Amino acid sequence: MTAPLTERTAGETGDDQPSVLLDGVSKTYGQGRNAVPALDDVSLSVRRGEFVSLLGASGCGKSTLLSLVAGLDRPTAGRIDTRGGKIAMMFQEPALFPWLTVSANVEMALRVRGVARKERRARAAELLEIVHLGGFGARRPHELSGGMRQRVSLARALAQEADVLLMDEPFGALDAMTRDLLHDELERIWRERGLSVLFVTHNVREAVRLGDRVVLLSSRPGRVAEDFPVGIGRPRVIDSPAVAGLASTVTERLRQEVLRHGR
Amino acid sequence: MAADRTTSAEKAPDVHARQIAGLDALELGGAAGRPAGRLWSGVWGRLWPMLLAAGIVLALWQGVVWSGRWPEYVFAGPAETFGTLGERLSTPEYWQAVAVTMRRAVTGFAVSVLAGLVVGALVSRVRVLRAAFGSLITGLQTMPSIAWFPLAILLFGLTESAITFVVILGAAPSIANGLIAGVDYTPPILLRAGHVLGFRRLRLYLHVILPASLPSFLAGLKQGWAFAWRSLMAGELVVIIAHQSSLGERLYYDRELADSAGLLATMIVILVIGIGIDLLFETADGALRRRWGLRQARD
Ligand SMILES: Nc1ncnc2c1ncn2[C@@H]1O[C@H](COP(=O)(O)OP(=O)(O)OP(=O)(O)O)[C@@H](O)[C@H]1O
Ligand SMILES: [Mg+2]
């Protein structure tokens, strides 16, 4: 298929095999004089089972990047290769279907694959248990709190049994305590399932807390500015000195990026 | 410092779960079940303004009669009118007239729903049809239904088909438009969510777009009913079919015979039926809004 795939030797472990590969990806919205360059020549890879945090100032093209990877939009130039893997996505809002119960929302991911009704029920119940919403399957989304809805959304994404999970600031609107708990949950689920995660945020500590790497995007147009490996052992604590230390380095770099536009 | 690290690292899973459950319970705290007796107070809360309005209208009506602007045999008062209404409602012939009108309304509306659904679905899905018929459908809504009758009578004669034809032309565009508007205003985020879940084309339409347009469709149904009912009354006044008494036909003969009380009695029946069915739609809409969480807790 593609060069990197043929180079891989048979006995190699899948660990450094990218499950998402962006090669020179550019995206321009609009045409002619109104063209907005959102992304410019972004190259990035997420290895299988890797957790990559994507960080950048507001409007630098993070959501655009995820949309492209999810296939919701096409790049203007460049190549995106997801190795035929299935992709799930969590949006900034829960994006639940208001006409369905919580359980039926989760089941939508199974329905599309033609899973029988009875099995759908059972699987949805299991997944809701995983996100600690066991007793809430019969509720309607609007009856839950914001954090609970985001967990339903996570359960729905997990139901897709995808190889890659894209998350667009999923916890941006939550209070700190709920967010910390969801970080623990997400980390646990990610490890258990061997997911590859691309996690967008503009909270630097969150990025460091969760990521194996933190990729910093520059603004206008979005480019990869720097790629920080996070060598902190897990489980991590968001307020620990190690996380805070790296976070301040990343913040400093982000500040330089923003200042570049101040002039 | 070492102690600090172990406590957080070895956070037992059930402690974690309990902590989450605790936060959830706190966040849901405000949404306790509705207190008992709410239903009755809800019904009463809606009933008394209606009764008040009816009372005011009756008083005004009586006032106009007493003012002597029109003689009593031209403009009957409430007492005489309700007396006549009671008499008429006790005859089977009158109920037959009501039944004929209702049968026409229900069949006409049912066909309109079907036509509106098909047309709305096609127009909202097929781009060419959309360009061709989108504004035509909106335009049809503004056409007064009475203007269709000359054509209908030419085509179908003085028959029930002529009435049904006009009822459908009155109601179907609103219903189609409700569906089209619902499809147009499907929140993009739900479309994206559906797409990411793997729904495409027809399946996306059936599982995401159609359900999402339900509130708008319901509004279209409600408006369609109002148009159907008006068109039907116009039709029954214009198209008089022998040996088939209906509410509109009653109005026509009451005017011919200058039976003021009978005329007003029939008008009240028409009004009450219209309001009653409108209330049904309102209830359905309220139930939908509650299920979807589109309604504030207190309103
Ligand atoms: N559909 C669109 N049409 C035109 N311009 C767009 C469109 N979507 C995004 N843009 C522009 O592209 C740029 C990147 O947008 P994007 O939403 O990807 O940013 P972001 O990094 O996700 O921002 P935020 O942190 O605020 O979510 C912005 O300048 C935005 O105005
Ligand atoms: Mg964004």
Q: Rounded to whole angstroms, how far apart are CA atoms B57 and B73?
A: 20
Q: Which two tokens stand for residue A31?
A: 């045409």
Q: What is the rounded average pLDDT of the residues B102-130?
A: 92
Q: What is the pLDDT of residues A144-160, one digit of tens each?
A: 988 889 999 999 999 99
Are B150 and B255 found together in one domain? yes
Are B254 and B108 a contacting pair, CB within 8 Å? no
Q: Which two tokens stand for residue B123?
A: 């127009």
Q: What is the rounded average pLDDT of the residues B1-14?
A: 48
Please give the backbone phi and psi of residue A78, each rounded to the nearest 5 degrees, phi first: 95, -175
Are B147 and B202 found together in one domain? yes
End-to-end CA gap in chain A = 46
* Contact criterion met (CB < 8 Å) for A112 and B21: no
Q: Which two tokens stand for residue B202?
A: 């027809």
- Domain membership flag for residue B299: no
Q: Rounded to whole angstroms, how far apart are CA atoms A49 and A60?
A: 26
How confident is the prediction for chain B on average, in pLDDT? 86
Mapping DSSP to helix (H, G, I), strand (E, B) and coil, where does residue B230 land?
helix
Are B292 and A140 a contacting pair, CB within 8 Å? yes
CA A60 – ligand 1 centroid, Å: 7
Radius of gyration of chain B, Cα coordinates, nearest whole angstrom: 27
Are A50 and A127 a contacting pair, CB within 8 Å? no
Q: What is the rounded average pLDDT of the residues A117-135?
A: 89
Q: Which of A103, A129, A98 is nearest to A118 (CA)?
A: A103
CA A226 – ligand 2 centroid, Å: 19
Mapping DSSP to helix (H, G, I), strand (E, B) and coil, where does residue A231 land?
coil
Instruction: Quote the minimal CA–CA distance from A38 to chain B in Å.
Output: 19
Q: Most A CBs within 10 Å: which of B18, B196, B202, B209, as the mutation test of the A interface?
A: B196
pLDDT classification of B295: cutoffs 50, 70, 90: low
* Contact criterion met (CB < 8 Å) for A109 and B198: yes
Cβ-based neighbours of B183, under 8 Å, separated by 6 or more? B120, B124, B125, B209, B210, B213
Name all domains of chain A by residue range, CATH numbers in brackets. 18-86+163-260 (3.40.50.300), 97-161 (no CATH)
Instruction: Quote the pLDDT of residue A132.
Output: 85
Are B55 and B110 found together in one domain? no
Are B239 and B278 found together in one domain? yes
Residue B4 is part of which domain span?
A: 1-30
pLDDT classification of B8: cutoffs 50, 70, 90: very low
Q: Is B50 exposed, middle or buried (0-12, 13-18, 19+ CB in 10 A)?
A: exposed
* Contact criterion met (CB < 8 Å) for A112 and B197: yes
- Domain membership flag for residue B297: no
CA dist list (Å): A136 to A104, A125, A139, A161, A233: 11, 9, 5, 21, 35
pLDDT classification of A5: cutoffs 50, 70, 90: very low
Question: From atom 11 of ligand 1, which residue's Cα is the shortest distance away?
Answer: A38
How confident is the prediction for chain A on average, in pLDDT? 86
Helix (H) and strand (E) counts for chain B? 14, 0
Q: Quick one: which atom of ligand 1 is closest to the CA of A92?
A: 27
Are B123 and B40 found together in one domain? no
Instruction: Quote the pLDDT of residue B216.
Output: 93
Are B97 and B56 found together in one domain? no
- Concatenating the DSSP letter of every residue in A161-195 gives T-SEEEEESTTTTS-HHHHHHHHHHHHHHHHHHT-
Are B125 and B224 found together in one domain? yes
CA dist list (Å): A111 to A107, B116, B197, B199: 6, 29, 10, 10
- Domain membership flag for residue B298: no
Instruction: Quote the pLDDT of residue A8.
Output: 35
Instruction: Quote the pLDDT of residue B265.
Output: 94
Q: Rounded to whole angstroms, how far apart are CA atoms B41 and A44?
A: 62
B128: amino acid identity, one letter: V
Mean pLDDT lowest among A13-27, A166-180, B23-37: B23-37
CA A168 – ligand 2 centroid, Å: 7
More confident residue, B21 or B238: B238
* Contact criterion met (CB < 8 Å) for B24 and A181: no
Question: From atom 30 of ligand 1, which residue's Cα is the shortest distance away?
Answer: A59
Number of domains in chain B: 3
pLDDT classification of A11: cutoffs 50, 70, 90: very low
A190 has a pLDDT exceeding 60? yes
Q: What does the DSSP 8-state code read for residue B66?
A: H
Q: Rounded to whole angstroms, how far apart are CA atoms A87 and A70?
A: 6
More confident residue, A104 or B23: A104
Q: What is the rounded average pLDDT of the residues B100-121?
A: 94
Are B210 and B164 a contacting pair, CB within 8 Å? no
Are B65 and B203 found together in one domain? no
Instruction: Quote the minimal CA–CA distance from A235 to chain B in Å.
Output: 6
Instruction: Quote the pLDDT of residue B138.
Output: 85
Mapping DSSP to helix (H, G, I), strand (E, B) and coil, where does residue B243 land?
coil
CA A212 – ligand 1 centroid, Å: 26
Instruction: Quote the pLDDT of residue B38.
Output: 67
Torsion angle in degrees (nearest 10) through CA of A97, A103, A109, A115: -140
Q: What is the pLDDT of residues B48-76, one digit of tens each?
A: 888 999 999 999 999 999 998 888 888 99
CATH of the domain at B116: 1.10.3720.10
- Domain membership flag for residue B266: yes
Instruction: Quote the pLDDT of residue A233.
Output: 85
B217 has a pLDDT exceeding 70? yes
- Concatenating the DSSP letter of every residue in B157-211 gives -SSHHHHHHHHHHHHHHHHHHHHHHHHHTS-HHHHHHHHHHT--HHHHIIIIIHH
Q: Is A174 exposed, middle or buried (0-12, 13-18, 19+ CB in 10 A)?
A: middle
Are B84 and B166 found together in one domain? yes
Name the percent of chain B lying above pLDDT 70: 90
Are B7 and B153 found together in one domain? no
CA atoms within 13 A on the CB side of B197: 32
Instruction: Quote the pLDDT of residue B182.
Output: 92
ipTM: 0.85
Instruction: Quote the pLDDT of residue B178.
Output: 93
Q: Which residue matches tokens 């957790």?
A: A51
Instruction: Quote the pLDDT of residue A12.
Output: 38
- Domain membership flag for residue B267: yes
Instruction: Quote the pLDDT of residue B231.
Output: 93
Q: What is the rounded average pLDDT of the residues B257-272?
A: 92
Q: What is the rounded average pLDDT of the residues A13-26?
A: 77
Q: What is the rounded average pLDDT of the residues B177-201?
A: 92
Instruction: Quote the pLDDT of residue B296.
Output: 54
Q: Rounded to whole angstroms, how far apart are CA atoms A71 and B57?
A: 62
Question: From atom 18 of ligand 1, which residue's Cα is the shortest distance away?
Answer: A61
pLDDT classification of B127: cutoffs 50, 70, 90: confident
Q: Rounded to whole angstroms, how far apart are CA atoms B63 and A15?
A: 90
- Domain membership flag for residue B191: yes
Instruction: Quote the pLDDT of residue A67.
Output: 94
Are B247 and B194 found together in one domain? yes
B19 has a pLDDT exceeding 70? yes
Are B56 and B178 found together in one domain? no
Instruction: Quote the pLDDT of residue B247.
Output: 92
- Domain membership flag for residue B284: yes
Domain finish residue from B45, B69, B93: B69
- Candidates A28, A64, A74, A89: which one to mutate for ligand 1, based on the most atoms within 8 Å of Cβ? A64
